[in-house]
Structure 1
Amino acid sequence: MDIPVKKCKKCHEVLHSCKLQCPICLSDDLELTTIKGEGTIYSYTKIHTAPKQFADQVPYYVVLIQLDGLNVTGRFIGEDVQINDFVVLEDIKNECYYFKPVSN
């Protein structure tokens, strides 16, 4: 599954889709595109105490994923997570990315 992003037409920086201006060159000439929703886990944390709307889902992992040109935060679908694990985007719900591990 691909992730919608914006790309600066001036300096080619890849940005989150909600951005209105490039933080590198300050251009507002951005184009909508996509990148592959696959990458490696850079960091993670396990949530044991969550806000009320997520309390029934604890414990769960929040992961920082290094994609091609962009880092994103999302939820990990699985029980065991390790730094440098390869993951793919499974779903996007309520602007949250859900990643699952890739089986070897």
Structure 2
Amino acid sequence: MKLPVKKCKQCDSILYTSKYHCTNCYSDELELTEIDGKGKIYSYTKIHAAPKQFADQAPYYVILVHLDQGLKVTGRLNGNDVQIDTPVELDEIKERAYFFKAR
């Protein structure tokens, strides 16, 4: 699945869609685009005591993913087998949250 991002027209940096200026060159010339949602887990935590709206889903994993294009994102893992350097790919975006699955 593709991940929506912004790309700087001046220096080609890849940014989150919430950015209004490039964090590298400070240009405001950004364009919406998509990148491949594949990467590797570089950190994770298991949530046991979840906020009220997610309590019925606990326990679950929140993962930090280093995408192949360089961007680092936070998401949830659809599954229970998690290890550092596990290859993952974007499975869905639900209510502005990224859900990944192992590749």
Coarse TM-score class (shorter-chain normalised)? over 0.9
| CA deviation map 1:27-56 (0-9, x unaligned) | 100011111011100100000011100011
Q: Which residue of 2 aligns with 1:32?
A: 32
Q: State the match for 2:77 in structure 1.
A: 76
TM-score w.r.t. the length of structure 1 is 0.95
CA distance in structure 2 between the partners assigned to 1:46 and 1:15 by the alignment:
27
Task: Give aligned-pair identity as a percent.
Answer: 60
Gaps of 5+ in 1: none
**Amino acid corresponding to residue 29 of structure 2 in structure 1:** D
Q: Partner of 2:22 in structure 1?
A: 22
Query: How many angstroms apart in 1 are the aligned matches of 2:91 and 2:45?
Result: 19
Runs (5+) with no aligned partner, structure 2: none
What is the TM-score with the length of structure 2 in the denominator?
Answer: 0.96
Provide the aligned length of Structure 1 versus Structure 2.
102
* Counterpart AA for 2:42: Y
